[in-house]
Homo-oligomer: A and B are copies of this chain.
């Protein structure tokens, strides 16, 4: 019976997610669901991406957090529209939360929407939000065994950004083995090593993103 309830919840969520995507499509907005563990670099990636796209593509951001609006404040300083969702204890965003937030996003003014999910490698993978692509940031200090432990997340995403590669000299982290493991679970995934500190890999990430959007700038 418990499984049935979960299925119902996920079924209802899928329907709302589909409606969200229709709304986004009708406004020509491309949405990216950005997921990671706490502190892997979601906000830093958004900031680095905003810098590259400034004056080229208008971006909006929905910030998901259990509590606080710290990240929304940091992103708001960049002059882009940002809407905060506080889940009040919930460990993931769902399509209905995003639907509520979309009402406050100026969809006609933007082309790209980042939805920064709650920092969690588990439940966010189960809930579609209406996004066009799911992107996972995996941080090198977390270790290269994470795909085995959180398989659904690595299986579901369109791209994995291996962040904090500037720390590789100080860690035991095998980028090749990590990438092979992910490819074994998710053949079509794009894997890009990046550093939001040094900027390495950000150009490649932005190119991939624009390509997914059907754009070249």
Spell out A's residues near B (CB within 8 Å).
Answer: 37-40, 65-68, 70, 89-91, 118-123, 126, 139, 141-143, 145-146, 148-152, 164, 166-167, 170
Return 21 A-B CB contacts under 8 Å, by A number.
A37-B39, A37-B142, A38-B142, A39-B146, A40-B142, A65-B149, A66-B150, A66-B151, A66-B152, A67-B151, A68-B149, A70-B149, A89-B122, A91-B122, A118-B122, A119-B149, A120-B120, A120-B122, A141-B141, A167-B167, A167-B170
| Contact A149–B38 (Cβ < 8 Å) | yes
Most buried by B among A66, A141, A151: A141
Main secondary structure of the interface of A (DSSP, over half): loop
**Told that A38-B142, A67-B151 touch, could you supply 7 new A-B pairs with CB distance under 8 A?**
A37-B142, A40-B142, A89-B122, A89-B152, A91-B120, A119-B149, A167-B170
